[in-house]
Chains A and B, each alone.
Chain A
Amino acid sequence: MAMGMPYGLQAMLKEGHKHFSGVEEAVMKNIEACKALAQMTKTSLGPNGMNKMVINHLEKLFVTSDASTIVTEMDVYHPAAKLLVMAAKAQAGEVGDATNLVLTLAGELLGNAEVLLRDGLHTSEIAEGYQRASDKALSVLESLVLPGTDTLDVKDKAAVALRLRGAISSKQLGYEDLLAPLIAEACIDVVPSNPHNFNVDNVRIVKIMGGALPDSQVVKGMVLKRDAEGSVKCVENAKVVVYAQGVDTSGPETKGTVLIKSAEELEGYSRSEEEKLEQYVKAIADSGAKVIVSGGAIGEMAMHFIEKYGLLALRIPSKFDMRRFCRATGAVAIVKLQAPQPDELGFAKQIEVREVGGANCVVLQQDASLGSVATLVLRGSTEGFLDDVERAVDDGINAYKALCRDARCVPAGGASEIEMARQVADFGKKQTGLDQYAIARFAEALEVVPRTIAENSGLQASEVLARLYAAHAQGQVNAGVCIESGAPKDLAAEGIMDVYAAKWWAVRLATDAVVTVLKVDQIIMAKQAGGPKPRAGDGDDD
Chain B
Amino acid sequence: MGSVKTLNPNADVMGRHAATFMCVNAAKGLHEVMKTNFGPKGTIKMLVGGAGDIKLTKDGNVLLREMQIQNPTAVMIARTAVAQDDVTGDGTTSIVLLIGEMMKQAERYLQEGSHPRVIVEGFDIAKKALLEFLDDFKTPVDASDREMLRCVSRTSLSTKLAPHLVEQLTDIVTDAVLTIKQPEQPLDLYMVEIMHMRHKLDQDTRLVKGLVLDHGSRHPDMPKRVEDAFILTANISLEYEKAEVNAGFFYSSAEQREALVAAERAYTDERCRRVIELKKQVCGDSGRGFVLINQKGIDPLCLDMLAKEGILALRRAKKRNMERLTLACGGFAINSVEELSPDCLGHAGAVYEHVLGEEKYTFVEDVKHPHSCTILIKGPNDHTIAQIKDAVRDGLRAVKNVIDDKAVVLGAGAFEIAAAAHLRSTVKKQAQGRAKLGVEAFAEALLGFVKVLAENSGYDAQDVLIKLQEEQERGSNVGLDIATGEALDPQVAGIYDNYIVKRQIILSAPVIASQLLLVDEVMRAGINMRGK
A binds B: yes
Interface size on A, residues (CB 8 A): 73
Residues of A within 8 A of B25 (CB): 5-7
Residue in contact with B29 in the complex, picked from A7, A90, A332, A521, CB distance below 8 Å? A7
Residues of B within 8 A of A7 (CB): 25, 28-29
Residues of B within 8 A of A525 (CB): 47-48
Residues of B within 8 A of A6 (CB): 22, 25-26, 29, 71
A74 lies within 8 A of chain B by Cβ: no
Inter-subunit contact A257/B248 (CB<8 Å): yes
A124 lies within 8 A of chain B by Cβ: yes
Inter-subunit contact B30/A252 (CB<8 Å): no
Central interface residue in B26, B29, B199, by most chain A CB within 10 Å: B29
Residues of A within 8 A of B41 (CB): 124
Interface string of B210-233 (1 = CB under 8 A from A): 000000000011000000000000
A516 lies within 8 A of chain B by Cβ: yes
Q: How far does the Cβ of B46 sit from chain A's closest Cβ, in whole Å?
A: 4
The distance in angstroms between the C-alpha atoms of A530 and B49, with both chains bound, is 12
Residues of A within 8 A of B49 (CB): 526, 529
Inter-subunit contact B48/A3 (CB<8 Å): no
Stretch from A11-19, A203-211, A349-357 that touches the partner: A11-19
The distance in angstroms between the C-alpha atoms of A80 and B47, with both chains bound, is 11
Stretch from A267-275, A387-395, A463-471 that touches the partner: A267-275
Interface string of B28-55 (1 = CB under 8 A from A): 1110110010000101111111111010
Inter-subunit contact A14/B68 (CB<8 Å): yes
Nearest residue, chain B, Cβ from A508? B201
Inter-subunit contact B240/A253 (CB<8 Å): yes
The distance in angstroms between the C-alpha atoms of A252 and B220, with both chains bound, is 25
Inter-subunit contact A8/B46 (CB<8 Å): no
Inter-subunit contact A12/B221 (CB<8 Å): no
Stretch from B253-261, B402-410, B510-518 that touches the partner: B253-261
Stretch from A46-54, A258-266, A361-369, A410-418 that touches the partner: A258-266
Residue in contact with A258 in the complex, picked from B29, B67, B251, B258, CB distance below 8 Å? B251
Central interface residue in B41, B200, B254, by most chain A CB within 10 Å: B254
Nearest residue, chain B, Cβ from A6? B71
Residues of A within 8 A of B357 (CB): 93
Inter-subunit contact B524/A255 (CB<8 Å): no
Q: How far does the Cβ of B522 sit from chain A's closest Cβ, in whole Å?
A: 7
A83 lies within 8 A of chain B by Cβ: yes
Nearest residue, chain B, Cβ from A270? B254
B492 lies within 8 A of chain A by Cβ: no
B283 lies within 8 A of chain A by Cβ: no
Inter-subunit contact B46/A520 (CB<8 Å): yes
Inter-subunit contact A522/B54 (CB<8 Å): no
Given A12-B74, A519-B43: A259 in contact with B250 (beta carbons within 8 A): yes
Residues of A within 8 A of B342 (CB): none
A160 lies within 8 A of chain B by Cβ: no
Residues of B within 8 A of A540 (CB): 531
Q: How far does the Cβ of A18 sit from chain B's closest Cβ, in whole Å?
A: 8
B458 lies within 8 A of chain A by Cβ: yes
Inter-subunit contact B36/A521 (CB<8 Å): yes
Inter-subunit contact A523/B45 (CB<8 Å): yes
Nearest residue, chain B, Cβ from A516? B56
Nearest residue, chain B, Cβ from A517? B46
A36 lies within 8 A of chain B by Cβ: no
Inter-subunit contact A253/B242 (CB<8 Å): yes
Inter-subunit contact B258/A276 (CB<8 Å): yes
Given A253-B242, A265-B252, A516-B56: A11 in contact with B221 (beta carbons within 8 A): no
Inter-subunit contact B458/A122 (CB<8 Å): yes
Inter-subunit contact B52/A13 (CB<8 Å): no
Can you report 8 residue pairs joining A to B where beta carbons are below 8 Å apart?
A2-B524, A8-B29, A123-B43, A254-B242, A256-B248, A508-B201, A512-B380, A528-B50
What residues make up the interface of B, taking CB atoms closer than 8 Å to A? 12, 14, 18, 21-22, 25-26, 28-30, 32-33, 36, 41, 43-52, 54, 56, 66-72, 74, 198-201, 220-221, 240, 242-243, 247-255, 257-258, 260-261, 264, 300-301, 304, 357, 380-383, 458, 522, 524, 531-532
What residues make up the interface of A, taking CB atoms closer than 8 Å to B? 1-3, 5-9, 11-15, 17, 26, 77, 79-80, 82-83, 86-87, 89-90, 93-94, 122-124, 244, 249-260, 265, 268-269, 272-273, 275-276, 323, 326, 332-336, 508-509, 512, 516, 519-530, 540
Closest 5 CB pairs of A and B: A529-B50, A90-B380, A259-B250, A525-B48, A86-B381
